[in-house]
Structure 1
């Protein structure tokens, strides 16, 4: 793509960076990691991240898309709809139609658009129940991108994300290593030069004994699954009361000091 001098990232917890904790108590995530890389080669580069955990696609469209339409950045990245898919009775075709209308608006604002497919949730105990819906939604997203000349970061096609080390302890969000790999993959889609390859295999890991696996499952159920179910029953969201961490386009002057290896 042409020179990238401004970027607004919109969406939910994936783009906010949940699971990739910063030393200051916030979140880093694939988008901030990639933005830091882009800023090192262009001192005039500006970046905003409007994503907030727990947002449904409708909320992203209503709250975040208008900000992009006003800012008119060179690039907007959009990943949303995953939280809608796990709602019982949700209609994947309707969700995809809402997503397409958002892409139409972003393209009309003059932005290059990058969208993300969902990763294969086969190994994830909660999300795998909607694996079929994720697969259908991904097919819609690829078709939408083709119709509107958008780029696709295909997370489903990243085998490294099948490794549990790419996921955080809650098994719903990516770990720092998962976010780092996604930043590298997105850089590749954008044609940004990087020094590492997202395809590099993770080092071998000793197999965990069966009893420890079951103990880990029980601990996960108490710590993450039951609170998640209670929030769903109450109609609550992780993002209630949370504000975007980078609400306006600006230079990267406060780079995160984060755990894990280098950014993209």
Structure 2
């Protein structure tokens, strides 16, 4: 069965700017920070019909529309592990004093020959401890099942394991989780960039919309599916 071809205007999972602004009207956050890896950076190839913009910049644009005084910091680096994020980015994040803070979900930690999930959880916990000290509302993603590294036959199991760690820590620390593991967007043929790892801008647009919905939910507002 041929899949429908969407544009940003027709994509059922996207939000137009007016709806996104309505969902976040009066949002309390004025200092938005993002740390982590290429997922946090919003890396992805352009998709025809979609704005060429990563999810964090999209979210920042919506927040700036309802909070013109918004300060935005994104210090994420492609390839960064959780330990490297702590070492190279945490100090700048703390100095920034965010009230809304996005954390990575260990995508690069599992891309090792033998990942140590116990150590991974301990390192992520250290990151959450530092992040919690800012007093910011924390957000994170789970990894989508479309993210595949064929050289590792157990890759789906690796993603499932790290996603469970992320969900557990997020619950413990009161973080907002945008769960992309089983999102229907994973089934789209044009979802991935040429590297077959990063979501293209069609996926970035959906991730941004889901983040806006989750942030609105944290404010007690009802959002459409």
TM-score w.r.t. the length of structure 2 is 0.77
1:48 aligned to which of 48, 73, 81: 73
Query: Offset at 1:15?
Result: 1.6
Write the deviation string for residues 199-250 of structure 1: whole angstroms up to 9, x where unpaired: 6xxxxxxxxxxxxxxxxxxxxxxxxxxxxxxxxxxxxxxxxxxxxxxxxxxx
Query: Offset at 1:5?
Result: 0.9
Contact 2:137/2:175, CA 8 A, preserved across alignment: yes
Structure number with bigger Rg: 1
Contact 2:148/2:197, CA 8 A, preserved across alignment: no
- Alignment correspondent of 1:213: none
Query: Offset at 1:128?
Result: 6.3
- Alignment correspondent of 1:69: 94
Query: What are the equivalent positions in structure 2 for 1:142-161 lying under 5 Å apart?
Result: 142-161=167-186
Write the deviation string for residues 72-120 of structure 1: whole angstroms up to 9, x where unpaired: 1111101141111011011122112211111111111211111111111
Would the alpha carbon gap of residues 122 and 180 (structure 1) be closer, same or farther in structure 2, given more than 3 Å must change? closer
State the 4+ residue runs in structure 1 displaced beyond 4 angstroms: none
Contact 2:103/2:138, CA 8 A, preserved across alignment: yes
How far, CA to CA, are the matches of 1:104 and 1:134 in structure 2?
23
Query: Offset at 1:166?
Result: 1.5
How far, CA to CA, are the matches of 2:45 and 2:81 in structure 1?
21
Q: Which structure dedicates a bigger proportion of its chain to helix?
A: 1
1:130 aligned to which of 147, 155, 160: 155
Which sections of structure 1, spanning at least 5 residues, go unmatched? 200-264
How far, CA to CA, are the matches of 2:162 and 2:105 in structure 1?
11
- Alignment correspondent of 2:137: 112
Would the alpha carbon gap of residues 32 and 144 (structure 1) be closer, same or farther in structure 2, given more than 3 Å must change? same
For 2:159, what is the secondary structure of its paired residue?
helix
Query: Offset at 1:122?
Result: 7.0
Contact 1:12/1:56, CA 8 A, preserved across alignment: yes
Query: What are the equivalent positions in structure 2 for 1:15-54 lying under 5 Å apart?
Result: 15-20=40-45, 28-54=53-79
How far, CA to CA, are the matches of 1:160 and 1:121 in structure 2?
9
1:8 aligned to which of 25, 29, 33: 33
CA RMSD of aligned residues (A): 2.5
How far, CA to CA, are the matches of 2:173 and 2:132 in structure 1?
8
